[in-house]
Amino acid sequence: MPGHPSPLTPAGLRAFAFRTLGPRTSLRSALDHMVFVQADPIRAPARAQDLTLMARVRGYRAGDLERLYPTLAVEEDMLPNYGFVTRPVQALLHPREVGESPLEREHPELLEAVRAFVGERAEVHPREVAALLGRGRVVNAWGGQSAATTRALDLLHRRGEVRVTRRVSGVRLYGPAPHLAALRAAPLPTPERVRGTVHLLAGLYGPLPEASLGYLVGLSRFGLPHLHGELRAALRVAVREELTGARVDGVRYVWPAGWDAGALPTPRGVRVVGPFDPLVWDRRRFTHLHGWTYRLEAYTPPAKRQFGYYALPVFQAERAVGWANLRVEGGELRADVNLVPGVRETAAFRRGLEAELGRHRAFLGLEDPQRAGKASTSFSP
């Protein structure tokens, strides 16, 4: 693996990681640059995909991605987590070979009926499919209950036989996917797909520890389940011959060749980012570079939470200095902010935080000319 020409310090690596938060641009440009935005349904105070895009898009408002999705040439898909991908990225993922599911064994005729129903229409709502082909309810991936017809739509979507056309109040609507049918007929060569996926993950989350890239490639079995072995082989080649890297405090980091670790200035100001943002997604890197362990505790019993239901990491310059829980109450943004031990609440930090919370107010549609940039903020030691 090619090495970095000069020693890279933890501070330099922290600044390098901030390359993912460049100047804010248009939504289309941000999506083209990121190529993947992870999705999550929790709104605290907004969905994960909206929090990620708010940090990168000028004037972004919560819900803009859902509202503008039909015009953006992006698709909902799995890489390796569920989210929004550009069409070139989706070409790496399909055709996707998925084995027989429990749904097919329990309802062998249902998948074909749903496939035929969608094929006859430009767009369908899951309720329409259930009304015509109604079946019982089945346990979904999260342990809850969902209609068998909805599960059939999900399975066809994962296989690339249908696409998400848009969402209405968060519910996915589906339609035919001719571009994916074309990929089934003439897919990209397998070496191009697996190499492209490894390099894409290194670019999306890099610079990141080599072990974390291996973990991401392992997760890609969900996006490319039948190419898992080939992905592992492509990872070994990429780390040995194609990616750039360096050891920092004994940890081996990798990133795409061509990136200049010293080309970006040290970040300034205060930023509050979502828990699935590429800046903080890799918890191994976060702990190493910032000296404390951050966790998302939405699924942790309340009595066992240390950070809160949906804590958002808070950065000052390039350092993660604490976390904030944001919520909207009575039309106002309320922020509970915690700083890690050793970090002082200075006047500069307070000004930077209020400016960042002002951006979140605008993002959430809470603008008030008499309260511009204001939020109810509490600090905890």
pLDDT mean by block of 10 residues, the chain; 381 residues: 68 93 94 96 95 97 96 94 96 90 81 91 92 59 57 93 94 96 96 96 96 93 86 96 95 95 83 97 97 96 96 96 96 96 94 96 80 61 58
Of 222, 255, 288, the residue at which a domain comes to its end is 255
Do 293 and 347 fall within a single domain? yes
Q: Under DSSP, is residue 22 helix (H, G, I), strand (E, B) or coil?
A: coil
Specify the pTM: 0.90
Do 15 and 75 fall within a single domain? yes
Mean pLDDT estimate for the chain: 90
Would you say residue 38 lies in a domain? yes
Do 280 and 376 fall within a single domain? yes
Do 247 and 294 fall within a single domain? no
Would you say residue 229 lies in a domain? yes
Q: How many domains does the chain have?
A: 3
Would you say residue 181 lies in a domain? no
Query: CB of 206 within 8 A of CB of 214?
Result: no
Of 255, 287, 302, the residue at which a domain comes to its end is 255
Query: CB of 79 within 8 A of CB of 89?
Result: yes
Of 255, 290, 314, the residue at which a domain comes to its end is 255
Do 288 and 355 fall within a single domain? yes
Query: CB of 51 within 8 A of CB of 291?
Result: no
Do 109 and 212 fall within a single domain? no
Would you say residue 262 lies in a domain? no
Supply the pLDDT for residue 141.
42
- Pairing state of beta strands 137-139 and 145-147? antiparallel
Per residue in 234-263, pLDDT (tens digit) is: 999 999 999 999 999 999 999 999 998 876
Contacts of 109 (CB under 8 A, 6+ apart): none
Do 85 and 15 fall within a single domain? yes
Do 275 and 373 fall within a single domain? yes
Supply the pLDDT for residue 175.
97
Q: What is the Cα–Cα distance from 276 to 255, expressed in whole angstroms?
A: 19
Would you say residue 261 lies in a domain? no
Domain span at residue 372 reads 270-380
Q: What is the Cα–Cα distance from 22 to 267, expressed in whole angstroms?
A: 10
- Pairing state of beta strands 171-176 and 208-209? unpaired
Sheet of strand 74-79, all strands in order from the earlier edge strand to the far edge: 36-38, 81-86, 74-79
Do 214 and 274 fall within a single domain? no
Would you say residue 211 lies in a domain? yes
Would you say residue 349 lies in a domain? yes
- Pairing state of beta strands 270-272 and 81-86? unpaired
Do 160 and 79 fall within a single domain? no
Do 36 and 155 fall within a single domain? no
Q: Under DSSP, is residue 371 helix (H, G, I), strand (E, B) or coil?
A: coil
Do 46 and 190 fall within a single domain? yes
Per residue in 192-206, pLDDT (tens digit) is: 999 999 999 999 999
Would you say residue 5 lies in a domain? no
Q: What is the Cα–Cα distance from 143 to 162, expressed in whole angstroms?
A: 24
Residue 242: is it exposed, middle or buried by C-beta count within 10 angstroms (0-12/13-18/19+)?
Answer: middle
Q: What is the Cα–Cα distance from 270 to 289, expressed in whole angstroms?
A: 17
- DSSP one-letter code for 239: I
